[in-house]
Amino acid sequence: MPSGKKNSKTDGQKLREKLTWEFPQAALESPELTEEAMTFCEAYKDFLGEAKIEREAVNYAVSALEDAGYTVFDPRAAYKTGDKVYFNNRGKAIIATTFGKKPLAEGLRLNAAHIDSPRLDLKPSPLYEKENIAYFKTHYYGGLRKYQWTAIPLALHGVIYKKDGTCLNIKVGEDPSDPVLYISDLLPHLAARQSERKLSDGIRGEELNIIVGSIPYPEKDLKEPVKLQVLSILNEKYGITEADFLRAELEVTAAGAARDVGFDRSLIASPGHDDRVCAYPALIAEINTAKPTYTTVTILTDKEEIGSVGNTGLNSDYVRHYLEYLAENGGISYKDMLKNALCLSSDVSAAYDPTFSEVYEPGNSCYMGKGTVIMKYTGARGKSGSSDASAETMYRVIDIMDKNKVYWQTGELGKVDEGGGGTVAQFIAGLNIDVVDVGVPVISMHAPVEVVSKIDVYETYKAYMAFYK
């Protein structure tokens, strides 16, 4: 028999344990996290159902913030530690702040997530009839795979402004009693030529036409009687005419509520995880932060999926103006405040998917169930469109996670030359603010229905709480 203890480690094993690193599976190392994550994500699933588009997310945030005692930010008011304010930008982006103990000149803690998602938008003149079927014409929004949007139930969300200025909130396809919308695809029996197309061209943009009716108005010899019948129904329900579509923002998402995935209910399938899976934990962390060391700035922004454009996207000046107001309110240098600030660009990453392992680099991928993911850079191929966080920024953020026992991992958006993507980090960095991406790994990102791990959602919330603390 060999001498020594049965379970003693060799020198090599001890050295390996000391010098190498592997990210642990959170639920295996801390089993109590499973129940905590399950509880936290019940409210998150409710949020997903109520906030499928950016306007609904802002409405949800305003209600939650006001219930928590937040008031509308007044640049001329005096604020003290613990005071809570918010700024609503045109109903499509929102900023919330809790004033901290340290002077503003010593910096802020910013957290920026986006609340828009890939979807289909109705064209300004969407309604038409062809061969006794009425359709809506669409224009896709963001980087989606068009073939995924056919042959599934769809819902319509948004607003219509009538000629008299009345705003109508539209939500059709979510209640079980509602009709849903639908985009057809070819039956396999007749799809031989379509099947010869490249996958990216399997369904074309102008083929994303939504079926909205098939019964004609009950009068003979009318032009486009099915279209007229649809207009008649819409006029009866909402009091609108065809011209009112010109004053509308109507968005199409997958219909249905968020659902648990797996026999263990460990995952969530839902439209719009990207990026409301980061926006919700950011909002709740903001609300649950009482008297932080540094003043918080939580940003839920619009238009990230199409380049952060427009006056509700982060490539505009609305955040800079808000920060200038904060500095003026505190009577300090705006430049000093930003130079000393630290920001989390809270956006999702591509979770390693074993079914499609060829596009991932395993050693630098993020995995479901290992916690929030810190991405030093995003971008495409040669880091194009990335801010690329410095070593100093990585140290500061990782140190916060470790000291607060947050499960975290690092990751990239796949292999170097497979593609990539960007976040709002580059626009935050452009303000001379240190920033790094921190968010949730997602499977089937940008699909009509995406999948995340409840453990990762909860650990991301804990990461944001630690950051604000």
Residue 14 in any domain: the answer is: no
Residues 345 and 432 grouped into a single domain: yes
d(CA 176, CA 194): 34
Q: Give the phi and the psi of residue 172 in degrees, each rounded to 5.
A: -130, 130
Give the pair of three-digit tokens for residue 37.
């994550």
Q: Do 333 and 454 sit in the same domain of this protein? A: yes
Give residue 92's pLDDT: 98
Does 309 lie in the same domain as 199?
Answer: no
CB within 8 A of 193, min separation 6: which ones? none
Beta bridge partners of 88: 94
The tens digit of pLDDT for each residue in 297-311 reads 999 999 999 999 999
d(CA 265, CA 349): 21
β-bridge partners, 85: 71, 97
CATH number assigned to the domain comprising residue 457: 3.40.630.10
Considering the domain boundaries, does residue 35 fall inside one? yes
What's the pLDDT tens digit per position in 197-245?
A: 999 999 999 999 999 999 999 999 999 999 999 999 999 999 999 999 9
Query: 325 with 425, same domain?
Result: yes
* In contact, 275 and 117? CB cutoff 8 Å: yes
Contact 285, 448 (CB under 8 A): no
Q: Do 328 and 415 fall within a single domain?
A: yes
Q: How many CB atoms sit inside 10 A of residue 99's CB?
A: 20
312 Cβ contact partners less than 8 Å away, ≥ 6 residues apart: 54, 89, 90, 92, 93, 301, 302, 303, 318
* Residue 335 structure tokens: 């430049």
- Domain, as residue range, for 69: 23-117+271-468
**What's the CATH number where 189 sits?**
2.30.250.10
CA angle 281–171–229, rounded 5-degree value: 160
Nearest to 162 by CA among 254, 217, 73, 244: 244
Q: Indicate whether 68 belongs to any domain.
A: yes
What pLDDT does residue 6 have? 59
Beta strands (DSSP E) in 68-193 are: 71-72, 84-89, 93-98, 108-114, 119-130, 133-141, 154-161, 167-172, 182-183
Question: Do residues 437 and 322 share a domain?
Answer: yes
Task: Let me know if residue 3 belongs to a domain.
Answer: no
Does residue 100 lie within any of the structural domains? yes
Burial of 396 (0-12, 13-18, 19+ CB in 10 A): middle
Decide if 4 is inside a domain: no
Low-confidence stretches of the chain (pLDDT < 70) are 1-7
With respect to residue 1, please indicate whether it lies within any of the assigned structural domains.
Answer: no
Residues 169, 53 share a domain: no
Helix ranges (DSSP H) in 10-101: 11-19, 26-29, 32-50, 54-67
| Residue that terminates a domain, selected from 254, 288, 323 | 254
The percent of residues above 90 in pLDDT, for the chain, comes to 94
Sequence-separated (6 or more) residues with CB below 8 Å from residue 141: 116, 118, 119, 120, 121, 251, 305, 306
Sheet with 267-270, side-by-side order of all strands: 259-261, 267-270, 450-453
Verify that 156 and 60 share a domain, yes or no.
Answer: no
From first CA to last CA, the distance across the chain in angstroms is 55
- Only one residue has tokens 């499973």, namely 34
How far, in Å, CA of 362 to CA of 120, rounded?
33
